[in-house]
Amino acid sequence: MSKSQLPLTVKLTLPTGVTYEQPVGLFINNEFVYPKQKKTFEVVSPSTEEVITEVYEALQEDVETAVVAAEEAYKSSWSTGPPTVRMSVLLKLADLIEADAEIIAAIESYDNGKSLQNARGDVALTAAYFRSCAGWADKFMGTVIETGDTHFNYTRREPIGVCGQIIPWNFPLLMASWKLGPVIATGCTTVLKTAESTPLSALYLATLLVKAGLPKGAVNIISGFGPTAGSAIASHPRINKVAFTGSTATGRIIMKAAADSNLKKVTLELGGKSPNIVFNDADLDQTIGHLITAIFYNSGEVCCAGSRVLIQSGIYDEVVKKFKVAAESVKTGNPFEESTFMGAQASEIQLSKILKYIELGKKQGATVVTGGERCAGKGYFVKPTIFADVHRDMDIVKDEIFGPVVTLIKFDTVDEAVALANDTEYGLAAGIHSTDVNKVLSVSSRIKAGTIWVNTYNDFHPMVPFGGYGASGIGREMGEEVFHEYTQVKAVRLHINKPTV
């Protein structure tokens, strides 16, 4: 398609049969605009391997335009006016998302490859999170500090200013909400870059931001690639904070760019290789379902996926048998069939990476319990894969695969389970399955991870903070903690002259 032929919005028909208007331009100052060079790139549907559309690509000069818009918006009453205005925008946005829930879920599934039922869950969580952020908008309190009668001391919490945000391709809509919710609630402004392989839902979300009453320039959404647009955001001298969700390797690059530019504040939600521990006293019928959710939800493309299942020796054989049966019952295929749980991998690159690791596991001596191959036919589909007979030096045990591949490891004692769980550079999440509350509390305190799920997994709530230890990142998303990432504390100390009369 030539540059002159591609408008700023295109009419698309989703696999559900619904036709809608899809924005493809850059969203700057509450309107869709052309980039300076009018370059485009293709967006491919992972389930069909066919091009959905093209979208316009932002380059460094377009990032600059978006930053200028964000700066002007921040100087307005948006950052200093009544917080109820920001609250109102977030509440209206949540209502609009719910009104368009089926369209948005279908866009997400079409663009990302995830099953429609998983995409619907993302939409529901997105609306819930925006509502949660609305509730926080008027609750950023300072304190009065008592130091004696010679001074009056107080603190206030102020928005950090213009932000840069870079989201991943595995949860495009939900990760956009995790970034935009705190920005809007605190009165910051932002330039958000979508993942190049999955830009469509965030661009559609932009249309709802306008309808919700967001002022011009407060949120700017651009599509582009990491080495160009992403780099321009991370190194921009007038962006005060950058938030990134993605790989640990890219996180290191962003952190260095932030330091080398203006020492901007950084939050990083990065990779994981999370342990999922099953003790002898676990409720197995319940636990097997959570093991399935932990690794096969969202086609395994989850940073906190429970990809290392540690099983106590007394129930190891039983768990392997039941887990195999459950995995083989997971319906994989057309994401738009209502019964499909596991859709396609998000891209051909990701598919190739997963298949490479599966072959490495086989070559290094691991036993394929089930799966271990690509599904036949069109689309980037992989069978749910379970490996047994693994050891800690295998690549499939050490590396983040980011796909529906899980390893099973046997242990005998609690101490051994904790040691195995912590035998990783990552520390994003962990699961514990046990009916012994004393054991659960003890093990939870000993595992080095930012989130511990007990007798559940991938169980998110807007009020519960999420983030990692070690190579899994810096800072937190959601909960009260996230608002500390978008605000800064100012202390005021006023000397008091004692009256003489």
- Domains defined along the chain, listed by start: 3-270+476-488 (3.40.605.10), 275-462 (3.40.309.10)
Instruction: Give residue-wise pLDDT tens across range 238-247.
Output: 999 999 999 9
The 3 state secondary structure assigned to 12-47 is EECCCCCEEEEECCEEECCEEECCCCCCEEEEEECC
| Per-residue pLDDT band at 500 (split at 50, 70, 90) | confident
Total-model pTM: 0.96
Catalytic residue among 57, 196, 269, 400: 269
pLDDT per position as a tens digit, 51-80: 999 999 999 999 999 999 999 999 999 999
- Report how far residue 221's alpha carbon sits from residue 199's, in angstroms, rounded to the nearest whole number: 10
Quick one: average pLDDT of 219-243?
Answer: 98
In this predicted structure, what is the pLDDT of residue 266? 98
CA distance linking residue 155 with residue 159, whole number of Å: 13
For the chain, how many residues are written?
Answer: 501
Question: Which two three-digit tokens encode residue 291?
Answer: 């093991």
Q: Which residues of 419-446 are buried (b: 16+ CB within 10 A; e: fewer)?
A: ebbbebebbbbbbbbbeeeebbeebeee
Percent of the chain at pLDDT exceeding 90: 98
Query: What amino acid occupies position 20?
Result: Y
Report the pLDDT value the prediction gives residue 499, as an integer from 0 to 100: 86
Q: Would you give the DSSP letter of residue 298?
A: G
Phi, psi of 239 (to 5 degrees): -90, 125
| pLDDT tens-digit series, residues 81-119 | 999 999 999 999 999 999 999 999 999 999 999 999 999
pLDDT band at 501 (very low <50, low <70, confident <90, very high): confident
Task: Judge whether 269 counts as a catalytic residue.
Answer: yes
Task: Give the pLDDT mean for 287-305.
Answer: 98
pLDDT tens digit sequence for 319-359: 999 999 999 999 999 999 999 999 999 999 999 999 999 99
